[in-house]
Chains A and B, each alone.
Chain A
Amino acid sequence: MPVKTYAGTEVTVNDEGFFTDPQQWREDMAPQIAADSGIPVLAEPHWQVVKFMRHEYEEKGTGPSVRALSKTSGVSIKELYELFPKGPAKLAAKIAGIPKPRGCI
């Protein structure tokens, strides 16, 4: 498993860069993960989605797909893709330190 250092702490990630142990994640790691994922500045709207993603994972044990993310968070699909052009659910999950959401829709 690859090891990454975020905010001075070593964490293990999978080949795609998702945390293998979500417990290793801390909020102060998020900006650096975001930068690695092509989002140089984690603005407030990004944060809202990332925190929502983390919350959903903690409640349900899995992160939502884009459609479910939009429906439950109230952030439109359009806005989600503006915030995370390379895949909103995928990137928000990565930044939130949770596994990649699985789902076809």
Chain B
Amino acid sequence: MTENSTTTGSKIEKVSIIVSKGSLEGIYPALIMANGARAEGIDANLFFTFFGLDAIHKARHEHIKLATVGNPGLHLATWAGGLPGVSSVMTHYMAHKMGTLDIPSIPEFIEMIADTGAGLYGCKASVDLFGLTKDDFIDQVKDIITVGEFYDLAAGGQIIFT
């Protein structure tokens, strides 16, 4: 195995985090890792692809829901998770719990991460696939980029896929 320049020391100096899921539990870990990286002085970029684009979508990022179907970690019967309103109720409950721990909402968290100097990027293939444009996304999004441009940005650092 070969080591690249950022891992030869004991310190990680740069991370590029891919957000591919559009559920609450799919998005938060990436945001926590990006924010935590910046707090440690590590450079961070976030690359939103597929349903992960909802996290930076102006009209949708305030309405990210917890997945209550196909989520065995919730310990809820699948049929119950599929009932109308269950996802909203569980999301609301989770938001309340997070609020008590001072974990910011997704829109606030993303704004905060942009303020730390981390770069936010959308995936061109997904943006084209969903028929979106840069105007559909929050202002903090620096650019819509191709996978090749992503690899250029990520060069010399660690890539984390979520």
Q: How far is the CA of A68 from the CA of B35 in the complex (A)?
A: 13
When the two chains form their complex, are residues A66 and B117 in contact, meaning their CB atoms are under 8 A apart?
no
Interchain CB contact (< 8 A) of A87 among B41, B101, B104, B112 = B41
Q: Which of A5-13, A27-35, A42-50, A78-86 contacts B (4 or more CB under 8 A)?
A: A78-86
Q: Interface 1/0s, chain B 106-135, versus A by CB < 8 A?
A: 000000100111000000000000000000
Q: How large is the interface on B (under 10, 10 to 19, 20 to 34, 35 or more residues)?
A: 10 to 19
Cβ of B36 within 8 Å of any chain A Cβ, yes or no, is yes
**By the criterion CB–CB under 8 Å, are A67 and B112 in contact?**
yes
Q: When A68-B102, A104-B32 are in contact, do A89 and B115 touch as well, CB less than 8 Å? A: no
Determine whether A41 belongs to the interface, using a CB cutoff of 8 Å to chain B: no
B117 touches A81 (CB 8 A): yes
Hey, which chain B residues are within 8 Å of A91, CB to CB?
A: 41
> If the complex has contacts A104-B32, A105-B102, A105-B103, are A89 and B116 also in contact, measured as CB distance less than 8 A?
no
In the complex, what's the smallest C-beta–C-beta distance from A81 to chain B, in angstroms?
5
Instruction: Point out the residues of chain A lying under 8 angstroms from B102, CB to CB.
Output: 67-68, 105
Known: A67-B104, A68-B102, A105-B103. A87 touches B115 (CB 8 A): no
Question: Which residues of chain B are near A81, meaning CB under 8 Å?
Answer: 38, 115-117
Q: How many residues of A contact B (CB 8 A)?
A: 17
Closest to B117 in A: A81
- How far, in whole Å, are A86 and B117 apart by their CA atoms in the complex? 11
Interface residues of A in 45-90 (CB under 8 A from B): 65-68, 76-78, 81, 85-90
**9 interchain residue pairs of minimum CB distance:** A86-B41, A87-B41, A77-B115, A78-B115, A66-B39, A81-B117, A81-B116, A87-B39, A87-B40
A-to-B contact residues, CB < 8 Å: 65-68, 76-78, 81, 85-91, 104-105
Given pairs A77-B116, A87-B40, A91-B41, 17 additional interface contacts (CB within 8 A): A66-B116, A67-B104, A67-B112, A68-B102, A76-B115, A78-B115, A81-B116, A85-B41, A87-B38, A87-B41, A89-B39, A90-B39, A90-B41, A104-B36, A105-B101, A105-B102, A105-B104
Give residues in B with beta carbon < 8 Å to A: 32, 35-36, 38-41, 101-104, 112, 115-117
Q: 14 A-B Cβ contacts within 8 A?
A: A65-B39, A66-B38, A66-B116, A67-B102, A76-B115, A77-B112, A85-B41, A87-B41, A90-B39, A90-B40, A104-B32, A105-B101, A105-B102, A105-B103
